[in-house]
Amino acid sequence: MRSTVFIAGRLLGLASLAAAFVSPDGTGRLPAMGWNSWNEYECNINEDVFITVARQLVALGLKDLGYQYVNIDDCWSDKEQRRDASTNELIPDAQKFPRGIIKTAELVHSLGLKLGIYSDADLKYDNCNVPSEWADEYEYTPEGPGSNAPAGYDWGTSNTAKRYRAMGDALQRQNRTIQYSLCAWGHAHVEQWGNTTGHSWRMWGDIMPAWKGKEKWSWGLMPIVNQASLFWESTNFGGHNDWDMLEVGNGNLTLEENRSHFALWCAFKSPLIIGTPLDTMRESILDILSNRELIDFNQDPVYGASAMPYKWGNDRPVGTSDMVHPAAFWVGTSIKGIHVFLLNTQDTAVQMRAVFAEIPPLQAAAGDEFLVHDMWTGKDLGTSKEYFELEVKTHDTAALRITMVDGE
**In CATH, what number is assigned to the domain containing residue 317?**
2.60.40.1180
Q: What is the CATH number of the domain that holds 268?
A: 3.20.20.70
Q: What pLDDT is attached to residue 324?
A: 98
pLDDT at residue 186 tops 70:
yes
Whether residues 290 and 340 fall in one domain:
no
Residue 337 placed within a domain: yes
Work out the angle between the directed axes of helices 47-59 and 100-110 (0-180°, nearest 10).
10
Work out the angle between the directed axes of helices 221-230 and 255-267 (0-180°, nearest 10).
20
Whether residues 278 and 339 fall in one domain:
no
- Please say which residue of 280, 298, 316 terminates a domain: 298
9: pLDDT confidence band, cut at 50, 70 and 90?
very low
Whether residues 273 and 336 fall in one domain:
no
Q: What pLDDT is attached to residue 4?
A: 38
Q: Three-state DSSP class for 88?
A: coil
Residue 344: give the domain boundaries. Answer: 308-404
DSSP label of 189: G
Higher pLDDT, 2 or 303: 303
Q: For a pLDDT cut of 90, what percent of the chain falls above it?
A: 83
Whether 307 and 339 have beta carbons less than 8 Å apart is answered as: yes
For β-strands 337-343 and 329-334, DSSP reports them as antiparallel
DSSP label of 306: P
| Segment 239-283, tens digit of pLDDT | 999 999 999 999 999 999 999 999 999 999 999 999 999 999 999
Residue 303 placed within a domain: no
Q: What pLDDT is attached to residue 6?
A: 46
E runs forming strands in 57-120: 69-72, 114-120
| CA separation for the pair 242, 202 (Å, rounded) | 4
Whether residues 378 and 292 fall in one domain:
no
For β-strands 240-242 and 200-202, DSSP reports them as parallel
Of 108, 33, 36, residue with least CA distance to 275: 36
**Who's near 127: CB < 8 A, 6+ residues apart?**
none
Tally of CA atoms within 13 A in the half-sphere of 393 that contains its CB: 8
Whether residues 258 and 276 fall in one domain:
yes
Whether 91 and 84 have beta carbons less than 8 Å apart is answered as: yes
- Domain count of the chain? 2
Whether residues 322 and 254 fall in one domain:
no
Whether residues 286 and 372 fall in one domain:
no
Whether 136 and 28 have beta carbons less than 8 Å apart is answered as: no
Whether residues 172 and 287 fall in one domain:
yes
Catalytic residue among 48, 126, 347, 380: 126
Whether residues 318 and 177 fall in one domain:
no
- List, in sequence order, every residue forming a beta bridge with 343; answer none if it has no partner: 397
Active site residue 206: yes
| Segment 309-355, tens digit of pLDDT | 999 998 899 999 999 999 999 999 999 999 999 999 999 999 999 99
- Please say which residue of 268, 298, 328 terminates a domain: 298
132: pLDDT confidence band, cut at 50, 70 and 90?
confident
Whether residues 202 and 347 fall in one domain:
no
Active site residue 126: yes
Task: Round to the nearest angstrom and report the end-to-end CA distance of the chain.
Answer: 43
Catalytic residue among 74, 120, 206, 374: 206
Whether residues 282 and 325 fall in one domain:
no
| CA separation for the pair 211, 38 (Å, rounded) | 19
- Please say which residue of 298, 324, 359 terminates a domain: 298
Whether residues 346 and 260 fall in one domain:
no
